[in-house]
Amino acid sequence: MVPNERRQKILSILQAREYISIHELAQRLYVSLPTIRRDLTCMEADGQVRRTHGGVTYIHPESDISPIALRNHQHIEEKEAIGKEAIQLLSDGESLFIDSSSTAYCFVKAIPKDMRLNVVTNGSFIAQAFHEHPHVHVELVGGQYDPHHACVIGTEATHFIQSRFADWFFVSANSMDTHCITSQSNIDIDLKQAMHAHAQQTILLMDDSKFLNTSFYKVFDFDAIDQLITNHLPKEIEKALIENQVLIKKAVQ
């Protein structure tokens, strides 16, 4: 059974039952627990399901909860620790690119309110998070607005980024395996790659729920990343990152 077919089967099961444990789901589909977890990670990123402790629940299509709203309430302690660690890199007067991820949102909330920064982002909720930072100059890129993910995307947004330069690019993604960083959606990959190309350093912010998973679209190879900030890292990924000279920082919760 291919991944898309299997995920449709998962949705059919959840539509009938609303909730099922991960162990029972693996048994019903005759696949391993890691395979089911990879499927659920992708489906959760798309706003189709909500992971719970030991299980998963169905999100009705008519629900007004967007994927970004869901992610802003998942793994909060880990993301907040990562955000607090990331702000240690900042100095007054620097320029930042910040993507529209929920982990970046936790990073922004940790930035001291008296810092002087220039910020460019494609996330509307990221821009709004600076409303109490009087010394931060914020630019929200122009282009097509995606209300489902609360971000601006498209060719115009990418062109906007190409006219700016930053000291730091803070970014996250859906998944990381031992070879690269991947995403379930390709709506903003061009924009992220433009931010990387126009930044002095690219800092990846990822909590440990995203490791040893592979999504459909490749975002970056490891050699595009200067630093990874996380709360915990599997040994096999740590080895691959070290081989690619990626600096690793582990946040303390």
Tally the domains of the chain: 2
Residues 21 and 144 in one domain: no
Buried b (16+ CB within 10 A) or exposed e, 207-234: bbbbbbbbbeeebbebebbbbbbbbebe
Grouping H, G, I as helix, E, B as strand and the rest as coil, residue 59 is: coil
Q: Supply angle C-alpha 52, 53, 54, rounded to 5.
A: 105
Let me know: does 101 contact 175? Beta carbons within 8 Å. Answer: no
Q: Is 151 a member of any domain? A: yes
Distance (Å, rounded) from C-alpha 8 to C-alpha 232?
Answer: 31
- Where in the sequence is the domain holding 49, given as residue range(s)? 3-64
Instruction: Evaluate if residue 220 carries a pLDDT over 70.
Output: yes
Give 71's contacts (C-beta < 8 A, 6+ positions apart). Answer: 45, 101, 102
pLDDT of residue 237: 95
Q: Is 115 a member of any domain? A: yes
What are the two backbone dihedrals, phi and then psi, of residue 163, each rounded to the nearest 5 degrees? Answer: -100, 10
Residues 91 and 21 in one domain: no
Q: Is 141 a member of any domain? A: yes
Question: Beta strand 49-52 with 217-221: parallel, antiparallel or unpaired?
Answer: unpaired
Residues 59 and 122 in one domain: no
For 162-180, the DSSP string reads: TT--EEEEEE--SEE-SSE
Domain end, chosen from 14, 37, 64, is at: 64
Residues 205 and 95 in one domain: yes
Distance (Å, rounded) from C-alpha 135 to C-alpha 115?
Answer: 6
150 by Cβ neighbours in 10 Å (0-12 / 13-18 / 19+) ranks as: buried
Residues 35 and 126 in one domain: no
Residues 38 and 131 in one domain: no
For residue range 166-203, what is the model confidence (pLDDT) as tens digits? 999 999 998 899 999 998 788 899 999 999 999 999 99
Distance (Å, rounded) from C-alpha 128 to C-alpha 21?
Answer: 37
Residues 206 and 127 in one domain: yes
Domain end, chosen from 16, 38, 64, is at: 64
Q: Is 69 a member of any domain? A: no
The model's pTM is 0.75
Question: Beta strand 217-221 with 199-205: parallel, antiparallel or unpaired?
Answer: unpaired
Residues 97 and 187 in one domain: yes
As a 3-state breakdown, the chain gives helix, strand, coil percent values, each rounded to 5, of 40, 25, 35
Q: Is 70 a member of any domain? A: no
Q: Is 225 a member of any domain? A: yes
For residue range 36-92, what is the model confidence (pLDDT) as tens digits? 988 888 887 777 787 777 788 877 654 544 455 555 556 789 999 999 999 999 999
What are the two backbone dihedrals, phi and then psi, of residue 30, each rounded to the nearest 5 degrees? Answer: 60, 45
Domain end, chosen from 25, 41, 64, is at: 64
Residues 50 and 97 in one domain: no
For residue range 126-179, what is the model confidence (pLDDT) as tens digits? 999 999 999 999 999 999 998 878 899 999 999 999 999 999 999 999 889 999
- Taking each helix axis from N to C end, the angle separating 33-45 and 3-17, rounded to the nearest 10 degrees, works out to 80
Which CATH number does the domain housing residue 42 bear?
1.10.10.10
Q: Is 87 a member of any domain? A: yes
Residues 121 and 182 in one domain: yes
Residues 40 and 131 in one domain: no
Which CATH number does the domain housing residue 164 bear?
3.40.50.1360
Residues 49 and 146 in one domain: no
pLDDT of residue 64: 47
Q: Is 71 a member of any domain? A: no
C-alpha closest to that of 115 among 136, 137, 144: 136
Q: Which residues pair with 166 in a beta bridge?
A: 199
